[in-house]
Structure 1
Amino acid sequence: MSDIQPTAAPVREEEVARLAAAIDLKDPGTILRFGAAAQSRAQAAADAMLEGAQNRETGEAGQTLSSMLTALRGFDVTNLAEKPGFFQRLFNKAGSEATAIVQRYEGVRDQVQVIGDKLDQHRTKLLEDVERLERLYTATLDWFHALADHIAAGERVLKHTDSVVIPALEAAALDAGDPLAPQALRDGRAARDELERRVHDLRLTRQVAMQALPSIRLIQENDKALSAKIQSVLANTVPLWSQQLAQALAIHRMREAGQAVKAATDLTNKLLVANAETLRTGNAEARRELERGTFDMEAIKQANAALVGTIEDSLRIADEARVQRRTAEAELAKCEQDIRRALSAAKAREQAAPPARG
């Protein structure tokens, strides 16, 4: 009987001795009940894993991040760089247009704030799910140790049966003094084989527990990664976004003030018919101010593109996490089918084997 003992589950001697003492080969009920309580925890673990794999919180968080990305893409800072034409300045329409621009971008800022609140709620739920998975991991680990204790106890009884009990029954069967000794030998061998089958079944269950442990950690790590990304968005992206919006609006207002000053200066120059050198100097200064404004807007556009890239990374990670969970579900289902197929094959061999002769 080859079996790889995991180093992560040390056998507790006192518990193993207690479990071994509870096995009575003369009482088939003790063999049938042996490890049944530990195996019954497999369904609870499977249900908890399925609940974690089907957790919709990650998907909702990804949708919220998509809404954030849509809002960011709707913020086009190039509009703030547009300068009103000569006739707009002449008929004083620039003021109303600027007011509409400011209102629209303030609405975008409010929308980003609402989405940020939703992301914070998702992060709280993800952290709660991480704690729940941690409790599930601890319970699964205890379940794994309990199965290991039962396996060790069963192997101990099997070893004692093979080395002591069966030889004693064989010796008694050879003695013609007891006519029931051969039947007792047959019953002992049958009980021993039944116990061996129970131990093998417990090994299969322990394998399920062993596979559940990394699966739980995988889901937990995905939730923690998404929670950390949301925290980064709330702590970095949203404040930078608000700062960028404030800077864009401030630059827009400064440009409006500069344009008003420039319009008044130009009108004064035309009325006073200033000399050409003064006009040239004023025009050069105005052009430098305009070129300076264009340079600042390019920097803001690059920063906005970087922020959009950050959100797209978040969406990609959320999509990968969703694919990993679906892959984990498929793998769990395949393992369950493999175990059922192995158990069915073992049962078929047992039925096909001829009965042992007493």
Structure 2
Amino acid sequence: MTETVREKAALAVAEIETVAQAVLADPGKEMVALAAAPAPVAEEIRARMAEINLGDSSSIMYFGSRAQNDLQAVSQEMLADVKNKDVGPAGDSLSAIVTTIRGFSVSELDVRRKQSWWERLTGRAAPFAQFLARYEAVQTQIDRITDELLSHETKLLKDVKALDLLYAKTLGFYDELALFIAAGEEKLREVDATVIPAKEAEVAAAPEEQKVLRAQELRDLRAARDDLERRVHDLKLTRQVTMQSLPSIRLVQENDKSLVTKINSTLVNTVPLWETQLAQAVTIQRSAEAARAVRQASDLTNELLTANAKNLREANAAVRTEMERGIFDIEAVKAANGELIATIEDSLRIADEGKRKRAAAEKDLGEMETQLRETLSSARAKPTADKS
């Protein structure tokens, strides 16, 4: 809500209290006849009786109409003001602001909440930027609606004041009708008791040539009397309808006053409270974002510490192992020694085998040499024997 609207709403509180505390007078009691009326009222009744001229039908026809002039002026002014209002009911704006506030779901845009299956399926996230964009859109709507509510409040206050005036004029018309009715009834009583009997006596005493004229005057007088009676009856009906309109005006006023009070309470209390709560929600979301970033940093630090500790342990084990090793591993020395011994043994075995083979070869050579000498010796002896 803008600061201008807030200031205007605060200034309207005093005016609303003044309007709400205005006390409307109740309609008067039963009508008072001329004989029982106090002196000031009796004078008012006689003044209205003087307006009746039985010889003038228009005076009877418009008897009591003068009281309606002020009332009609006020009513027409109110109707003209209503025609100039090109706005919807204030209740619609109140409903709109409630709908707007309820339409803003903080939980739906909570970045800490677990995403729905549809959001997971469509891959849609609930980022904090979306939360702020929604908040700004709703805030714009609230500002627009509060401006409308302030305008409604001003018009309703004007209507309440106009209804105060209309009620006062209607109540005055109601009391005025009582005077006209009392005056009419008193005139009827006077006509019935005095004027008509006097006219009847005049007709009876008139010469024969004037009886028809005087009889016509009597009929006209009685017709005027009946017209007056009907007019008084109409005034009584009008007074009854006027009496019924007074509580109707009060009811409309009370509704307008209640609506004005509700609008002002919404502007002064509800909207600022909602804006405060929404601002807190935004702040909480920002805190959640900051906490999440801090948690991620802490998690990364812890992961680095854990990884470094693990690497340090592995490196230390490798270094210490290498440090504790000799230049040659004992197992390697043992293996090399075993191989060396086996090599020496193989050499000795091969040497012995060579000696054995050489000895056998020398023996074979000796035998072959002996055989060769014997063969050669045998070959030389055969030719000598042939000569002998």
Cα distance in 2 between the residues matched to 1:258 and 1:199? 85
Residues in 1 aligned to 2:206 and 2:142: alpha-carbon distance in whole angstroms: 93
Asked which structure has the greater RCO (Cα within 8 Å, sep 6+), the reply is 1
Equivalent in the alignment of 1:233: 266
**Equivalent in the alignment of 2:159:** 129
CA contact (8 A) 2:104 2:134 kept: no
Alpha-carbon offset, residue 176 of structure 1: 6.0
- Counterpart residue number, 2:49: 20
Deviation at 1:29, TM superposition (A): 4.3
Cα deviation for residue 28 of structure 1 reads 3.9
Alignment correspondent of 1:195: 228
- Within the alignment, does 1:102 sit opposite 2:132 as a pair? yes
Does the 8 Å contact 2:203/2:215 carry over to 1? Answer: yes
Match of 1:149 among 172, 176, 179: 179
Q: What is the CA distance between 1:143 and its match in structure 2? A: 1.8
TM-score (norm: length of structure 2): 0.58
| C-alpha distance 190-70 of structure 1, shift in aligned 2 (>3 A) | closer
Counterpart of 2:178 in structure 1: which amino acid?
A
Kindly provide the amino acid, as one letter, of the partner of residue 162 in structure 1. D
CA distance in 2, matches of 1:60, 1:107: 24
1:204 and 1:42 map into 2 onto residues whose CA distance is: 17
CA displacement at 1:132 relative to structure 2 = 1.3
Closer/same/farther in 2, CA of residues 29 and 62 from structure 1, 3 Å limit: closer
Once the two structures are TM-superposed, the CA of residue 103 in structure 1 deviates from its matched residue by 3.5
Match of 2:29 in 1: 7
Amino acid at match of 1:259: R
Q: Cα–Cα, structure 1 residues 26 and 116, in superposed 2: closer, same or farther, change >3 Å?
A: closer
CA distance in 1, matches of 2:81, 2:248: 10
TM-score (norm 1): 0.62
* Offset, 1:270: 2.3
Match of 1:70 among 75, 99, 102: 99
- Equivalent position amino acid for 1:24 in 2: N
Deviations 1:188-235 (A, max 9, x none): 323322221221122222233223222222222222221111112112
Which residue identity is paired with 1:273?
A: T
Unpaired segments ≥5 residues, structure 2: 1-26, 115-125, 308-388
What is the CA–CA distance in structure 1 between the aligned matches of 2:57 and 2:63, rounded to whole Å? 10
* Residue from 250, 255, 262 that aligns with 1:217: 250
Question: Cα distance, 1:183 vs. partner?
Answer: 4.4
CA contact (8 A) 1:48 1:136 kept: no
Of the three residues 59, 66, 71, the one matched with 1:37 is 66
* Map 1:281-320 → 2, pairs under 5 A: none
Once the 2 structures are TM-superposed, how far is the Cα of residue 25 of structure 1 from its aligned partner?
2.9
- Residue pair 2:111, 2:127 contacting (<8 A) in 1 also: no
Contact 1:166–1:188 under 8 Å retained in 2? yes
Amino acid at match of 1:236: N
Amino acid at match of 1:226: L
Unaligned runs of 5+ in 1: 86-95, 275-358
Name the CA shift for 1:257/1:156 in 2 (closer, same or farther; >3 Å): same
Could you list the per-position Cα deviations for residues 93-126 of structure 1 after superposition, in whole angstroms to 9, with x for gaps in the alignment?
xxx9323422431332232122212211111111
* Aligned residue in 2 for 1:140: 170
The one of 52, 60, 63 aligned to 2:89: 60
Amino acid at match of 2:66: A
CA distance 1:27–1:71, shift in 2 (3 Å): closer
Note the C-alpha offset of 1:153.
Answer: 0.5
RMSD: 3.4
Counterparts of 1:54 and 1:218 in 2: how far apart (Å)?
A: 21
- Alignment correspondent of 1:252: 285
- Equivalent pair of 1:61/1:122 in contact (CA under 8 Å): yes
Identity %: 49
Distance 1:147 1:267 in 2: 91
Amino acid paired to 2:183: A
Q: 1:215 to 1:84 in 2, by over 3 A?
A: closer
Q: Deviations 1:331-353 (Å, cap 9, x if unpaired)?
A: xxxxxxxxxxxxxxxxxxxxxxx
CA distance in 2, matches of 1:250, 1:140: 57
Amino acid at match of 2:196: I
- 1:242 Cα shift? 0.6
* Structure 2 match to 1:111: 141
Partner residue, 1:286: none
Contact 1:80/1:248, CA 8 A, preserved across alignment: no
